[in-house]
A and B are shown apart, each in its own frame.
Chain A
Amino acid sequence: MTERRASPLVYISLLAAVALSVFPLYWLFVIATRSNDVIGDWPPPLTPGGNLGDNLGRLFGTEEAYFLKGMVNSAISAVVVTVAVVFFSSLAGFAFAKLRFRGRNALLLVILATMMIPVQMGIIPLYMIMVKLGWQNQLQAVVVPFLVSAFGVFLMRQYAERAVPDELVEAAVVDGSSTFRTFWSVVLPALRPGAAVLGLLTFMGTWNEFLWPLAVLEADNPTVQVSLSQLSTAYYTDYTLMFAGALVAILPLLFVFIAFGRQIIGGIMEGAVKA
């Protein structure tokens, strides 16, 4: 099946699929550069216009949307969560893959089970915890609960199993290096490719988090997704303004995708084979 050359029909179908996938993104860009009076024209505008600067100006000038604040908040929380998830997952993944200790298999099973549990449904008590801590409307409320991830531990454990030779760990131990030193200077460098994939997926996931930030943050201290939803609530007829906001909001993801697209594909496909 993989040997024969594909027919033109295959190419046509794939091109259609790619066009359907990419067109809405192009449309997002087109509308973000237009003015509101062409919305709804038929045939629709299909080329960029000259209003991007104006729309961006209105976007950042709309005080009650707190868009700039949302961007900064999302950037900070996504970076902190990503670094923490990658670090803690590598640490635990290394322990599960390469260290021997009592209860290892049972605890690993617990991690596998927790991957299936939709803990998002616990947000009401989680909110109460935040109230107790005085963290409502504080950025740490959308950071601290997400510093670890069961999926991350599992992924890094799988990766460490393959990418870190036992001899490497043993040699370091024999050398007299402490377990943490071994992790830091021998194991972590070997885990880098796996950690990169986990980091990319975590960054994208955190950037997209919506329900919890909407619950715990208020209008004046949003993440970018919450800010977008505020725009869509208050200015839902002002499409060029909302599209400009959506465009800016996907820029970090677009950048990550263009720079690391191949690695992301590799990560998704590798995870699929493991699962």
Chain B
Amino acid sequence: MLKQEGKKIIGYSLGLALYEWIVTWVYPIIIQSPAIEEIPKSFPLAVKRAFGVTTGEEVDLSYEAYISAQLLGRIWTVIIAFYGISTANVLVAQPVEQGFMAYPLSSPVSRVEILNTQIGVLLTELALVTGTTLGGIYTATARFEISIARWQYFRLGILAFSLASAISAYSLFLAVLCATKEESERYASALTFAFYGLDVVSSLSDRFSKLKYLTPFGLFRPQEVLQRKVLPTKGFLVLGIITGVNLVLAGILFSRKDLAV
């Protein structure tokens, strides 16, 4: 299955790495520009908050703030959410709907083992894409001689993988629950947009900041993780629980469900 997904993994990974190289390449040029400190000041506070740009008096010109605003804070989360929803459905809902699942199911391998294999493929893919994202940052910063705290980026990578796993896990549960791939993709996308929307709203103002506790995206604050240099234990734990509960429920459901293949 992993082999079948190979082209997609390479496409996403190369795309992300290329993007990281481009934004990292222009970073030294941008911070040398005298106007750079003025540009963020011209943005409304809410927009700066939403895109993870520092909101204090001083403009943060660190690479951590820059890469968070340019990639990790918003763009990456949308890309990985889309990747997780799509892959969970391709690995579970599609083989059932199109009938290929009839072959593995006709073998003396249990349904839970079959699902676990698909989960293994899904998590491996997420690890590869997250790893390449990190790799892109490591190589690009090395190439353009930008100093970063690599270990902290690695910690962020684990948190990013946890977020991707949580989104993929509820998508996979919906893929098992729903009758068709179209239906499960619709529900998973709607749920993810709702979570994402809550996260954006929670960033806009302190009045709404509590909303971040209702969405898994609220646990992923890249700039905070990169600059505070602490281990985001709570994030790992909560996202891990979301992932675990959804995968266990998916396993129970898959082993008992009628599969009209």
A and B are partners in one complex rather than unrelated chains: no
Interface set of B (CB-CB < 8 Å, partner A) = none
Interface set of A (CB-CB < 8 Å, partner B) = none
